[in-house]
Structure 1
Amino acid sequence: MRPAPTALCLRLSLALALSLGFVRPLAVAWATAPAPIYVGSWAVRVTQGYQEVERLARKFGFVNLGQIFPDGQYFHLRHRGVAQQSLTPHWGHRLRLKKDPKVQWFEQQTLRRRFKRSFAEPSDPWFSKQWYMNTQVQPDLNILQVWSQGLTGQGVVVSILDDGIEKDHPDLWANYDPLASYDFNDYDPDPQPRYTPSDENRHGTRCAGEVAAIANNHFCGAGVAFNARIGGVRMLDGTITDVVEAQSLSLQPQHIHIYSASWGPEDDGRTVDGPGILTREAFRLGVTKGRGGLGTLFVWASGNGGLHYDNCNCDGYTNSIHTLSVGSTTKQGRVPWYSEACASTLTTTYSSGVVTDPQIVTTDLHHQCTDKHTGTSASAPLAAGMIALALEANPFLSWRDMQHLVVRASRPAQLQAEDWRVNGVGRQVSHHYGYGLLDAGLLVDMARTWLPTQPQKKCAILVVHVPTPILPQMHVKKEVSACAGRHNYIRSLEHVQVQLSLSYSRRGDLEISLTSPMGTRSTLVAIRPLDVSGQGYNNWIFMSTHFWDEDPQGVWTLGLENKGYYFNTGTSAAPSRQ
């Protein structure tokens, strides 16, 4: 069957850097200072210099230990007859020095309590099982380096959009934030999950513990950002509508910094679905008005349909430019069996692989702990916690700043895949892993000094193509100026979108790719053997992050190829993100 005319719309977006200075507010803490301990030495200031100090020393029985500074006015004196440590100052020497007209200033020295800023690992009993951040795997997520700098998520609010969270859990209650929580299934303020014999509503509680489980309380493990505030939105345990999703994604946008979501359309290898009109508006309002205009951060799990050859670019949530899509890798650096590959995945964190692989430690229902959390559901909250650490280091980062930082703080490391490629600006990128394993230490270090991006620009190019008689392959080329000479001229790329309309007898047989002028080829959708739909794609927007920072000017090539005959379409089951 011959494809119908194909309409293409390439949307390009830009990022450049400007400078911004900021001063972090000082934290004030009230505490009782320990009593001073006085030692047998004094600092004195004498303007007449060394000979006068020698006179003082002989007169009052001090030993002159010499100048403190090179200018010859401040000197260090010690008295052998004074106790080396005392809870009271020596009043006799104080009076003698005070009466001497040549002494401008003096102070009996006290002990100062100073400590090496080494970091002690959390004392929680299950921290030893948290292999992905306690150096049992190399590289791990580099969380300990950030904690050693005193960053633990303080002041950052994360909300888990899911089936509720157990707000009274002993590892969550102290960090629980009611302002970041709501129940949109029953429309009340309490996000406590509904308990059932099979405990199917445990998902949100597990995700919450990965982010903000309390540290050093001798229970379970520690969250990545264990001093962050954690909220929960109960919205998956009931009727789900566009209204419910939109309300969940727009709850308290000036209070919540990060929304973490590990759900989406069914990962069955045949569905092409995404957010409705209201939910798309919630995303738009979130990034333009949330966090005082800096933009809400939406962290999303990429999907668990790998066994069905699903592709996360057929999921309009992970495929959105407004979400930061997170994939998974195993402890051994392999692609998990459930993982979906796609061009919109930006970064990767750890999860499990086969049954014998170690999984993720977190909180569980009934005030319990588990070391059996898995899937991309477990990867996204780890990334949300790491992003919370970066926000504590620099609270002025915009939603686009954070995506730039994640691109730069993700490394191929030991991640194994056959599709690693070097893009036009020299970065390695993969459809399985995005830019690689997210490094919290690198993310925070760059966040401290990051200069904010300019406002986003968009340039759209319309391409209408009438295909020739059917061929195994078809390429549509278009010379692109990136709106040169106009106000929306783009010099450097962020997200690239292709809005595609076409008809085809068996949609899943098509592999669609896009190649940039700098030679980077990105697969917008690989073949999906279970997708037998004859509807084709109706204005579906594919997105790729693989061209990040490239120059958009030149010839872009859209490739379409029928590869359906390569695959045996056997059926099997895969876990959902929930």
Structure 2
Amino acid sequence: MRFRSQLSGLIGLLLLLGACSSGGDAPSQTTGNTHQGTSGQGSNLVSASGSAQGPDPQRVLQWHLSLAEFSPQDTTQSSSQTRPLYDLALGNLSERGRGLRIALIDGTVDSKHPDLLGRLLDSSAICCDWVPLTQQNDPSNAGPGSAMRSKVAETGHATGLAALIAATENNSIGGRGIAPAATLISLNAIASGDDSRLVQALQVALGSGASVINNSWSPPDPNEGGSRSFYPAPQAWYSALDEAQSKGRSGLGAIIVKAAGNGGAALSPSRLRSDSADSANYDGYAQHPAVISVGAVDAFARPLTVSEPGAQVLVSAFSSQTNSPSLSTGTEVLPSGTSSAAAMVSALSALMLEANPGLTWRDLRWILATTARPIPGYDQPGISSAQSLLRSHGYHQQVGFGLIDAGAAVQSAKSFQGLPPLINCLLDAEKNAPIITRAGTGEQLALPWQQVAINRENSKISFSFDLAKAQCPIDRIESLMLSLASSHQDATGLRITLISPLGYGVQFAAPRDCAHTVCTNLNQGFRFHSVRFMAEPAAGRWTLQISEESGKSIGTLSRLQLSFLGH
């Protein structure tokens, strides 16, 4: 099966994310001559010899780097109503991603793009049926009806992300990337349409020394053939993520960044029903503590309606019309939606690791969340956002803990002392006892699940359990994992909610329309990841509520596990 990309019109399993904003973004502009490139086949960095030195001509258009230096070519964009209001808050940071490798699991990056010369580690022999560009198959030669339209999207999307992350600085070409001194690794895992290629790409990225791995793709969105159903990832993907945690960056953990997805309400067949939209909760590839899930906002910090909400969304970054530094070569597409938002977080992660190479994957994630800026309109705990102990402005499943603040994140990274050792408290309903692990030492304590309510009339079940009685020593939660399986043949009527001892809640699933006749069930199980409870203590009574509200299917639970990770 083939993946559907932004321009290809081909439907497949995974999509490149490039949806438009909800409006009001700064405009996208590119200048320059058309360049028809062919991909290099060498094993070393592509030579940058002969490149000019001097200011980047499109730098003044890159409002996301600096509003102070933004100078729109269209004077109408200078008014208070149309001028961008936010940037990445880079300030005068000297960090450029030096010595860091950033892998892009995406389409093929055009290694001959003039603003990427010297940035790209050749990937032709690394992964995933990579096909070198030639004069015959160069995407710039593809017409609207050409079979090469898929390559237009795959290469254009990947090249645009690469330029956004690491386009060369002061080479008199285009603009510059957020981490212009970083090295890029291009892993074409999307075109084949084979999920196993994603696992292979992740493994190759780790083996190639990638410190940061960007994933600007997701399962298919509702407007592109997606079913708004659970899309489980293979166990091999989770095993690769475990390896990224334990072995990446010499044991400090690789940084895995993933786009939340562009299947939000604006792309729903029924725009008046939020439960008809897709949710990042249903993307199995994002359900792991190592994955930093990123939502999208525009230049005014307005959340994109297409940005998928999810309990695992950590932070947000900018979306469409970010003026990716590039020439109009025919092989780049200015990425938008949560694609560019994820790329920005990947680039920022490289800056943070340059500032403090000793950060663990947990440290970096914690810093991103604790330095995030509030989103206007989503910053009133209990009203427009969920209350949070981590951030006074609260948490929202569409934007996470807020908009990234690059300057604050890098400064915090420089002095960060590191989180205490990780503790994992696992509650398993089948084993009827918690398993508590601290710093690699396991201990079992008896704690039966207490079923406190069964209402057969409305098919609602509540489970209550007290982690204080289990002596779970987590003072501050970092992540929470819920794994469950049921016999429901149609799981789209399930509502799954977890409420903390403080009364704060998170929703993992909600009743929704299904675009297919038969939607994915939970017979084989599904896992959910949440960052919503970061900084809360584990002690106290937690309540898990599961209800079937559609009347379509009756079933029983066959597996129920809750894992609390923290310190």
TM-score normalised to the size of structure 2?
0.70
Deviation at 1:168, TM superposition (A): 1.4
Per-residue CA deviations over 1:540-567 (Å, capped at 9, x if unaligned) read 11111011011111111112345659xx
User: Is 1:400 equivalent to 2:356 in the alignment?
Assistant: no
User: Is 1:493 equivalent to 2:456 in the alignment?
Assistant: no
2:175 corresponds in structure 1 to 221
Task: Give the counterpart letter for 2:341 in structure 1.
Answer: S
Task: Give the counterpart letter for 2:110 in structure 1.
Answer: E
1:322 corresponds in structure 2 to 290
Q: After the TM superposition, which residues 84-163 of structure 1 pair with which residues of structure 2 at under 5 Å, given as runs?
A: 123-135=55-67, 137-143=84-90, 145=91, 148-163=92-107
Name the structure, 1 or 2, with higher relative contact order (CA <8 Å, separation 6+). 1
CA distance in 2, matches of 1:458, 1:482: 16
CA distance in 2, matches of 1:473, 1:424: 29
Change beyond 3 A, Cα 1:141–1:192: farther
Deviation at 1:349, TM superposition (A): 0.1
Task: Give the counterpart letter for 2:386 in structure 1.
Answer: R
Change beyond 3 A, Cα 1:279–1:449: same
User: Is 1:541 equivalent to 2:527 in the alignment?
Assistant: yes
2:425 corresponds in structure 1 to 459
CA contact (8 A) 1:269 1:305 kept: no
Change beyond 3 A, Cα 1:534–1:395: closer
Deviation at 1:276, TM superposition (A): 1.3
CA distance in 2, matches of 1:504, 1:191: 48
User: Is 1:481 equivalent to 2:431 in the alignment?
Assistant: no
1:115 corresponds in structure 2 to none
| Secondary structure class of the residue paired with 1:321 | coil
2:537 corresponds in structure 1 to 551
| Secondary structure class of the residue paired with 1:158 | strand
CA contact (8 A) 2:86 2:299 kept: no
Among candidates 128, 145, 161, match of residue 185 of structure 1: 128
CA distance in 2, matches of 1:151, 1:249: 26
1:262 corresponds in structure 2 to 216
CA contact (8 A) 1:137 1:331 kept: yes
Per-residue CA deviations over 1:351-395 (Å, capped at 9, x if unaligned) read 13xxxxx4542447846665x421111110011111111111001
Q: After the TM superposition, which residues 559-578 of structure 1 pair with which residues of structure 2 at under 5 Å, given as runs?
A: 559-562=545-548
CA distance in 2, matches of 1:192, 1:390: 37
Per-residue CA deviations over 1:147-182 (Å, capped at 9, x if unaligned) read x2321111111111111101111100122223x775
1:422 corresponds in structure 2 to 387
| Secondary structure class of the residue paired with 2:285 | coil
CA distance in 2, matches of 1:313, 1:238: 25
CA contact (8 A) 1:176 1:231 kept: yes
Per-residue CA deviations over 1:255-285 (Å, capped at 9, x if unaligned) read 2111101113222243312321222211111
Q: Which runs of 5+ in 1 are unaligned?
A: 1-121, 353-357, 566-578
Change beyond 3 A, Cα 1:482–1:414: farther
2:249 corresponds in structure 1 to 291
Give % identity: 26
Task: Give the counterpart letter for 2:244 in structure 1.
Answer: G
CA distance in 2, matches of 1:489, 1:392: 33
2:340 corresponds in structure 1 to 378
CA contact (8 A) 1:165 1:192 kept: no
Change beyond 3 A, Cα 1:304–1:252: closer
CA distance in 1, matches of 2:85, 2:542: 39
Among candidates 300, 316, 319, match of residue 348 of structure 1: 316
CA contact (8 A) 1:326 1:349 kept: yes
Task: Give the counterpart letter for 1:142 in structure 2.
Answer: A
CA contact (8 A) 1:491 1:551 kept: yes
Task: Give the counterpart letter for 2:480 in structure 1.
Answer: V
CA distance in 2, matches of 1:522, 1:435: 14
CA contact (8 A) 1:166 1:365 kept: no
User: Is 1:339 equivalent to 2:307 in the alignment?
Assistant: yes
CA contact (8 A) 1:513 1:524 kept: yes
Task: Give the counterpart letter for 1:276 in structure 2.
Answer: P
| Secondary structure class of the residue paired with 1:411 | coil
Larger radius of gyration: 1
Task: Give the counterpart letter for 1:130 in structure 2.
Answer: Q
Task: Give the counterpart letter for 2:491 in structure 1.
Answer: R
CA contact (8 A) 1:294 1:399 kept: yes
Task: Give the counterpart letter for 1:125 in structure 2.
Answer: P
1:207 corresponds in structure 2 to 161
Moved over 6 A (4+): 190-194
Change beyond 3 A, Cα 1:217–1:184: same
CA distance in 2, matches of 1:510, 1:323: 25
CA distance in 2, matches of 1:333, 1:341: 16
Q: Which runs of 5+ in 2 are unaligned?
A: 1-53, 68-82, 143-148, 269-276, 430-448, 552-567
TM-score normalised to the size of structure 1?
0.69
Among candidates 273, 278, 284, match of residue 236 of structure 2: 278
Number of residue pairs matched by the alignment: 429
Change beyond 3 A, Cα 1:533–1:455: same
User: Is 1:512 equivalent to 2:496 in the alignment?
Assistant: yes
